[in-house]
Amino acid sequence: MAYVITQPCIAEKSGECVSICPVDCIEAGEDQFFINPDSCIDCGACVAACPVNAIVEENDLEPAQEVFLEKAESFFD
């Protein structure tokens, strides 16, 4: 998984990332969006489009943000 959507997306769900994604790999969850790692082509378009800076590269996650990686993994299981 290259990108993870984190806390700022919760309840915001503005959706710019969904409309900009060239491969439609971002799906809506109950309270936030999730990036499907199997479909993502790692282009980074979603990162630039996110108005709340919620999208982070997996390798750049802070320890407190690891829960969002786990949440995304279970969403796509």
* Residue-level pLDDT at 67: 96
DSSP H or E stretch at residue 26: strand 26-28
Sequence-distant (≥ 6) Cβ neighbours of residue 62 within 8 angstroms: none
Task: Say whether pLDDT at 1 is over 80.
Answer: no
Position 51 pLDDT exceeds 60? yes
Mean pLDDT (the chain) is 93
Q: Is 24 helix (H, G, I), strand (E, B) or coil?
A: coil
Reply yes or no on whether the pLDDT at 77 is more than 90: no
Q: What is the pTM of this model?
A: 0.92
Domains by residue range for the chain, with CATH: 3-75 (3.30.70.20)
